[in-house]
Amino acid sequence: MAATGVSGLDLYVKRDNGSWHWLGIGKPDSIENTVTLAEGLSQSPREYLLYLPLYNGIEFVKIGVPASFMIEPVPSDPRKPIVFYGTSITQGGCASRPGMCTTAILGRRFNREFINLGFSGNGRMEPEVAELFAELDPLVYFIDCLPNMAADVVAARVEPFVKILRKAHPDTPIVLAEDRTYDDAFLIENKRLRNMESRKALRIAYENLLNSGTRNLYYQIAEGQLGDDGDGTVDSSHPTDLGFYRQAEVYQLILENIIKGSSSGL
């Protein structure tokens, strides 16, 4: 994975039309780094968005501007955030820079806060995690954990996990997403079966929840997430920047429909 994604900073600026545009990258060269993210900018007021590293934690960030400039925080967004829970893919492996993971792309497109709770090597829907997530108050819970959950784990954990969230939040939309298709699954049977079996278990859990009266529950199929040309992953599993872009395209559609139907999404 590129060091700029693991340890770098990623700077975006809001254009006059309201869209976000990439502006600069903070390349990591050592444990402590001093970098120029952008220079030669006009003094006209603009809004900037700085992404922190996808994997390595930081102890502090200091932002400097020329003496004739000023910097101040924007007002906090009163709208509820959208929470994503998942694996290393959700976390951003293997994006080349922090602004290219799926939640970052979606955050810019929707111009609202997306909370990324992707955990490399984890994301297995333990009930203790559900209890913690139930303390949040998001507009949507988007659960994308199948890459790290075999069928038997899916069968055992999905329904209890959703029921814990639903008890705390009776009306909050919850999305259950199928896993991305391994890029080489068309040739490797055990990977093809892994996709098929975990998805079958997820579909059964989803239908059981619906049949038990669970409302505002959505299902995201795998089709189209990373494309089918082999250019969407670095290792048949973790997305390239192109793969993340394609996944964001797919997830945007279901989230747009959910937000349109949510009175609290205004």
- Comparison of pLDDT for 40 and 262, the residue scoring more: 40
Q: How much is the average pLDDT of 30-52?
A: 94
Q: Within 10 Å of residue 195's Cβ, how many Cβ atoms?
A: 18
User: Does position 263 have pLDDT exceeding 90, yes or no?
Assistant: no
Residue 94: asked if its preceding bond is cis (omega within 30°), the reply is: yes
pLDDT tier at 261, thresholds 50, 70, 90: confident
- According to the CATH classification, is domain 1-75 in 3.10.129.10? no
Query: Taking the chain, what is the end-to-end CA distance rounded to the nearest angstrom?
Result: 37
**In this structure, are residues 28 and 8 in contact, taking their beta carbons and an 8 Å threshold?**
yes
Alpha-carbon distance of 114 to 112, in angstroms, equals 7
User: In the structure encoding, which two tokens stand for residue 145, read together?
Assistant: 């954990």
User: Does position 253 have pLDDT exceeding 90, yes or no?
Assistant: yes
Q: What is the DSSP letter of 65?
A: -
Domain locations in the chain as residue ranges: 1-75, 82-265
- According to the CATH classification, is domain 82-265 in 3.40.50.1110? yes
Tens-place pLDDT, residues 213-250? 999 999 999 999 999 999 999 999 999 999 999 999 99
Alpha-carbon distance of 95 to 29, in angstroms, equals 18
Tens-place pLDDT, residues 173-198? 999 999 999 999 999 999 999 999 99
The contacts of residue 45 (CB under 8 Å, 6+ apart) are none
User: Does position 40 have pLDDT exceeding 60, yes or no?
Assistant: yes
pTM, rounded to two decimals: 0.96
Alpha-carbon distance of 51 to 37, in angstroms, equals 12
